[in-house]
Amino acid sequence: MTLSELAVTIAVLGALGLVASRFGLSAIPAYLLAGIILGPNDPQLVQLVQPSEVTDFVAELGLIFLLFFLGLEFSVERLVRSGRHVGLGGAADLLVNAGLGLLVGIAAFGPTFAAVVVAACVYVSSSAIAVKALIDFRRLADDETDLVLAILLFEDIAIAAMLGFVATGGGGVATTAGVTVKALLFVGAALAASRWLGAWLGRQLARLELEFFVLAVFGFVIAMSAVAKELELSEAIGALMAGVVLSESGVREEIEQRFFSVRDVFAAFFFFAFALTIDVSRLGDVGWIVLLALAATLVGKVGVGVVAGRLGGFTARQGINAGAALVAHGEFTIILAQLAAGNAALALADRDTIVAFAGLYVLASATLGVVLMKESKRLGRLLRPAGGFE
């Protein structure tokens, strides 16, 4: 990739992102679209950027920073504090949507490991898109927003558990068991470090000058990712646990402030680079999977909103609002597909199918989800004119 190619890429990313944001959409589908347009596959309008070691590397950094931030925000205390909706709503969501996702996966790939990957991709909604839209559409004051955020928090934690599995699972029983043991040891060590070394690490970091503070945090994240990768776990696990270790360090907010922009830039490249490998001409093969997954998502997510809402004391209309906020899929679906694409236990053809599926599914659901959120109140009034009390 040359500098001028990079310049054009950034210009396209910026322009499409801006257009999306003007329409109240998330930037994630815009970045994917940019990758599809500039990439080498169909549509072959502009074949500016070839996937290369450079794009792979930048995308890897994006993945690392996305997961590092997820780890930073991780806290069992917060999970407990956010109250009653988490357990009930989160469990209902996992059961229904991972279940429906698995059915879609089995329909597409048969009862294989690839089906499990599809289940995870369909299960996990986009926190980034939902939170942005809740703020944009002024829904934060609504009571059902508590339910949405609680479910998203549950999903974040569930997906952290799935990352390693999707990246390295699916081999023989012995290798899977070996990887699982290694992953558990690594996560256990990181959790112990977070608990007993977190505060000390925070004090050492706080003492550094700004320049070295940034460098030290950066180095720590990359080192943890590298160690995890060398252990043949996934760099995703390493980055996630780097975040977890630093989440209790007392310098979390400072880290977030300093690295927000780094994350956003590299995350944009991550989505872009991922989309370079999406081949739209495969719409014929994967189109029906995408449609099936969309239908499952609409039924599953809105259904969970209504059912969990009802159990949590909300009206049906509030439940529809909550469910609509969960339709958009984004960063996690892409991350899972990217990790699956690097998993040698999956057949090469299946990996390509998963990448094409995930990209197109995110494009469609992110757009549909945001439109649905915008219109959910009107939709609720149409479906439940009496206010939804029964």
Partner 1 sequence: MPLELKETRLPGVGVKWSMTPASGTRVTVIQHNDGEREVYVHRRAGDEEPAVVLELHDDEARQLGALLGGAYERPKIVEELEMALGEFQIEWIKVPSGSWVNGRTLADCGFRKRTGVTVIAILRESESIAGAQPDDVILDGDTIVVVGKAGQFRQVRKLLAEGPTDGE
Contacts with partner 1 by CB under 8 A lie at: 73, 78, 81-83, 127, 131, 134-135, 138, 140-142, 145-146, 149-150, 152-153, 377
Asked whether the beta carbons of 165 and 341 are under 8 A apart, the reply is no
CA 234 – CA 335 distance, rounded (Å): 12
237 close to 186: Cβ distance less than 8 angstroms? yes
Q: Which is nearer to partner 1, 153 or 308 (CB)?
A: 153
Buried-state track 82-110, b at ≥16 Cβ within 10 A, e below 16: eeebbebbbebbbebbbebbbbbbbebbe
Residue 206 burial (CB count, 10 A): 12
DSSP class per residue in 39-65 = SSSSS-S-------HHHHHHHHHHHHH
Judged by beta carbon, residue 26 or residue 145, the one nearer partner 1 is 145
Q: What is the DSSP track for 279-313?
A: -GGGHHHHHHHHHHHHHHHHHHHHHHHHHHHHHTT
Give me the least distance between CB of 78 and partner 1, in Å please. Answer: 6
Give the nearest distance from C-beta 388 to partner 1 in angstroms.
Answer: 11
Residue closer to partner 1, measured from CB, 78 or 195: 78
Q: How far is the CB of 71 from partner 1 (least distance, A)?
A: 13
* Closer residue to partner 1, CB minimum distance, 70 or 346: 70
Taking the complex as a whole, how short is the minimal distance between the CB of residue 244 and partner 1, in angstroms? Answer: 16
The C-alpha atoms of residue 72 and residue 255 are separated, in whole angstroms, by 9
Q: C-beta of 340: minimal distance to partner 1 in Å?
A: 26
Q: Which is nearer to partner 1, 249 or 277 (CB)?
A: 249
Q: How far is the CB of 66 from partner 1 (least distance, A)?
A: 14
User: Which CB sits closer to partner 1, 60 or 155?
Assistant: 155
CB of 139 to partner 1, least distance (A): 10
- The span from the CA of 91 to the CA of 222, in Å, is 33
Which is closer to partner 1, CB of 182 or CB of 252?
Answer: 252
Residue 126, phi-psi category: left (phi > 0), alpha (psi -120 to 50), beta (remainder): beta
Burial class (CB in 10 A: 0-12, 13-18, 19+), 116: buried
